[in-house]
Amino acid sequence: MATSHEHDELLVQEDQFYHEYWGDGFHEHHHGDKYQSNFITHYLFSQDHKMIAKQFLITGMFWGIIGGLMSLVFRLQLGFPEENMAWLKPILGKWITVNDGIGSLDPDFYYALVTMHGTILVFFVLTAGLSGTFSNLLIPLQLGARDMASPLLNMLSYWFFFLAGAIMFASLFLNTGPFAGGWTAYPPLSAVPEAMSGSKAGMTLWAVSLVFFVVSVLLGGINYITTVLNLRTKGMSLWRMPLTIWAFFVTAILGLLSFPVLVSAILLVVFDRSLGTSFFLNEIYIGGQAMEQVGGSPILYQHLFWFLGHPEVYIIILPAMGLVSEVLSVNSRKPIFGYQAMVLSILAIAFLSFIVWAHHMFMAGVNPFISNIFVIFTLIIAVPSAVKVFNWIATLYGGNIRFTSAMLFAIGFVSMFISGGLTGIFLGNSAIDIPMHDTYFVVAHFHIVMGVAAFFGMFAGIYHWFPKMYGRFMNDTLGKVHFWGTFVGAYMVFWPMHYMGMAGVPRRYYDFTTFDFSSYFVDTNKFITIAAIITFGFQLIFVVNFFYSIFFGKKMTDKNPWKSTTLDWTTPIKGIHGNWPHAIPEVHRWAYDYGKDGKDFIPQTEPMTEEEKAEAHH
């Protein structure tokens, strides 16, 4: 343990380090000058992690609204196939086909909407919007770093994301429509332009967009990992990091290891499309012609895709889990239960997520023997997932719970994760997956466990850290209305889909009445569509609340409004470049000393007492 003299010296050294590191900018700031005065460098090409976080968040929200609206349009078609949709013609133009005076969605465009919805929500909203926002915001703040290891790469990460989004957006206006072969983009459908209208230029733009997106993820990920490994403040050992940071850290590693494989898969598809290779093509007769490309395997693509695809679902959910762990603990005024087990289960889930990918391919025509192995690993993943759930529940036990908007969403997250995780156990068992695969049961599973749960984690994070971002609070009443409406609504939308799946109704169907076995659900589909519209309406409350509160929300007067132990709440109310006006605080304990020794909370910066030290040495 450093004496106080040594300690001062250390701080000085640190300041010198940052002086060299940041150049004069940081130094100037020290003397009270404005570091960044230029509008462009402040709001657009900012290298400040807090600003970049906001950029990710607001871009993510933009995409969330677009993706959500798309789902409403195709839900209208599913729920009310007989209703006239001609009123959408001013917006959708030729994609509304009018028959006998009744306008309906063109099937090609229906599939385009479904595909865009999936791609946008999975990649742009729940990957970039969630992990991008909170990794950027919290990693430096909670670790005690002035900024990310490389602010420049960080800025580039956002702008590559922006570029990816711009390209995807442009594809919406193509004459042949955006890509329509599902977010998984299985070839040959995606690799043969003749196979579908959306597989023409739409697929090309989809591919280019996603490649840029992966560049963004990788730049961000390298940065997050480096920052976590190298820029932790004094005393912040790995085992003292809040679970948020653990989650972002492991998420970044997952992304770094899996996203490149997606790029390779996409590039090979592009080669097949335009260079005449046949990585994924074999013995195809299409458009009145036998294609010359033979010898490839469409199944190979699925292996590559799901090698990313499965880790990707954890890339989405781990940050949400991290945020929820933090919010639950702070608002229960209790340490997160089983911190070590939580970290270990994040690590276990991350590791296992690389060896379960073929559970998406039980029915794809792979050797059934191989599936045995994937069943075993898949069901093993349920164990650490269960441990996390039990630990969250145990965190509530004996707490003194404050129901902030963030807390409500965190509790909602746990409920959703239970409901959706349990259906994973059905699907992970290949035998049960035979009837369930590619039915609405799967749609219910992943929307609840990933879609809704991750959104809840994100909302929890936004409500909780909004004051950190903007120095103001979001309106609490509206937040709670938003929560209850969304919570009830989301179950209304997705719960009935389980039954449709049990009846065998396949997913990605434009119309359910062709088949007798799926036509039973006319009323169900109406119900779901109405519930979806209402649930979407509740999101508008959030959007209004968000933007209103940025400018007019209740001002934050206390640096640490939630009475948190973590470092993010030791920075000034008005965020400054470099985060702390003076030396970076030192950390002396883990992040979860809530309710210890009769104290409501003990900040991480508070040195340990002699007794505590003695105990720690035990």
Cα 81 to Cα 74, 75, 131, 513: the distances in Å are 10, 9, 37, 10
Residue 114, token pair as written in the block: 């479904």
Among ligand HEM, Cu ion, other proteins, none, partner that 500 touches (CB below 5 to 8 angstroms by kind) = other proteins
Backbone angles phi, psi at 468, to 5 degrees: -65, -35
Encoded amino acid at 525, one letter: N
CA distance linking residue 173 with residue 527, whole number of Å: 31
For residues 78 and 145, which CB has a smaller minimum distance to Cu ion in the complex? 78
SS3 track for 46-111? CCCHHHHHHHHHHHHHHHHHHHHHHHHHHHHHHHCCCCCCHHHHHHHHHHEEEECCEEEECHHHHH
Judged by CB under 8 A, the residue of 16, 237, 372, 609 near other proteins is 372
Residue 442 binds ligand HEM (CB under 6 A)? yes
Stretch that binds other proteins, among 43-51, 236-244, 262-270, 330-338 (CB under 8 A): 330-338
CA distance linking residue 444 with residue 500, whole number of Å: 9
Residue 381 binds ligand HEM (CB under 6 A)? yes
Secondary structure (3-state) at 555: strand
Residue 273 binds Cu ion (CB under 5 A)? no
Judged by CB under 8 A, the residue of 11, 86, 163, 502 near other proteins is 502
DSSP annotation of 275 reads: T
* Cβ atoms of 228 and 139 closer than 8 Å: yes
Judged by CB under 8 A, the residue of 299, 355, 469, 534 near other proteins is 299
Judged by CB under 8 A, the residue of 257, 343, 389, 583 near other proteins is 389
Residue 72 binds other proteins (CB under 8 A)? no
CA distance linking residue 122 with residue 168, whole number of Å: 13
Stretch that binds other proteins, among 33-41, 96-104, 219-227, 338-346 (CB under 8 A): 338-346
Residue 529 beta carbon to other proteins: minimum distance, rounded to whole angstroms: 17
Residue 290, H or E segment: strand 289-290
Residue 62 beta carbon to other proteins: minimum distance, rounded to whole angstroms: 15
Hey, which residues does 473 pair with through a beta bridge? Answer: 554
168, 185, 186: which is closest to 177 by C-alpha?
168
Residue 449 binds ligand HEM (CB under 6 A)? yes
Q: Which residues of 5-18 are buried (b: 16+ CB within 10 A; e: fewer)?
A: eeeeeebeebbeeb
Residue 431 binds other proteins (CB under 8 A)? yes
Hey, which residues does 472 pair with through a beta bridge? Answer: 555
Judged by CB under 8 A, the residue of 403, 555, 558, 615 near other proteins is 403
* Cβ atoms of 321 and 247 closer than 8 Å: yes
* Cβ atoms of 190 and 119 closer than 8 Å: no
Residue 258 binds ligand HEM (CB under 6 A)? no
Among ligand HEM, Cu ion, other proteins, none, partner that 560 touches (CB below 5 to 8 angstroms by kind) = none
Judged by CB under 6 A, the residue of 103, 177, 412, 428 near ligand HEM is 428
CA distance linking residue 217 with residue 506, whole number of Å: 33
Would you mind telling me the total number of residues written for the chain in this entry? 618
Residue 23 binds other proteins (CB under 8 A)? no
CA distance linking residue 205 with residue 39, whole number of Å: 32
CA distance linking residue 327 with residue 278, whole number of Å: 50
For residues 243 and 567, which CB has a smaller minimum distance to ligand HEM in the complex? 243
Residue 307 beta carbon to Cu ion: minimum distance, rounded to whole angstroms: 11
Residue 188 beta carbon to other proteins: minimum distance, rounded to whole angstroms: 5
Residue 491 beta carbon to other proteins: minimum distance, rounded to whole angstroms: 7
CA distance linking residue 298 with residue 357, whole number of Å: 16
Residue 616 binds other proteins (CB under 8 A)? no
Residue 480 beta carbon to other proteins: minimum distance, rounded to whole angstroms: 7
Query: E strands within 463-603?
Result: 472-473, 554-555
Give the Cα-Cα-Cα angle 502, 504, 509 (nearest 5 degrees).
125
Encoded amino acid at 456, one letter: F
Q: Which residues of 305-333 are buried (b: 16+ CB within 10 A; e: fewer)?
A: bbbbbbbbbbbbbbbbbbbbbbbbbbbbb
Site for other proteins in 581-600 (CB under 8 A): 592, 594-598
Residue 285, H or E segment: strand 285-286
324, 208, 322, 316: which is closest to 254 by C-alpha?
316
Residue 315 beta carbon to Cu ion: minimum distance, rounded to whole angstroms: 12
Hey, which residues does 165 pair with through a beta bridge? Answer: none
Residue 99 binds other proteins (CB under 8 A)? no
For residues 10 and 364, which CB has a smaller minimum distance to other proteins in the complex? 364
For residues 158 and 592, which CB has a smaller minimum distance to other proteins in the complex? 592
Residue 437 binds ligand HEM (CB under 6 A)? yes
Stretch that binds Cu ion, among 165-173, 226-234, 307-315, 607-615 (CB under 5 A): 307-315
Judged by CB under 8 A, the residue of 76, 192, 317, 321 near other proteins is 192
Among other proteins, ligand HEM, Cu ion, none, partner that 44 touches (CB below 5 to 8 angstroms by kind) = none
Residue 522 binds other proteins (CB under 8 A)? no
Residue 257 beta carbon to other proteins: minimum distance, rounded to whole angstroms: 26
Residue 313 binds ligand HEM (CB under 6 A)? yes
For residues 312 and 593, which CB has a smaller minimum distance to ligand HEM in the complex? 312
For residues 124 and 491, which CB has a smaller minimum distance to other proteins in the complex? 491
For residues 378 and 565, which CB has a smaller minimum distance to ligand HEM in the complex? 378
CA distance linking residue 467 with residue 460, whole number of Å: 13
Among Cu ion, other proteins, ligand HEM, none, partner that 450 touches (CB below 5 to 8 angstroms by kind) = ligand HEM
Residue 437 beta carbon to Cu ion: minimum distance, rounded to whole angstroms: 12
Residue 64, token pair as written in the block: 């969330």
Contact map string, positions 409 to 428, toward other proteins, x by CB under 8 A: --x--xx--xx--xx-xx--
Site for Cu ion in 309-348 (CB under 5 A): 310
CA distance linking residue 273 with residue 264, whole number of Å: 14
DSSP annotation of 608 reads: P
Residue 404 binds ligand HEM (CB under 6 A)? no
Site for other proteins in 525-584 (CB under 8 A): 540-541, 544-545, 548, 554
Judged by CB under 6 A, the residue of 360, 388, 472, 588 near ligand HEM is 360
- Give me the residues that bind Cu ion (CB under 5 A), please: 310
- Give me the residues that bind ligand HEM (CB under 6 A), please: 184, 313, 316-317, 359-360, 378, 381-382, 385, 421, 424-425, 427-428, 433, 436-438, 442, 445-446, 449-450
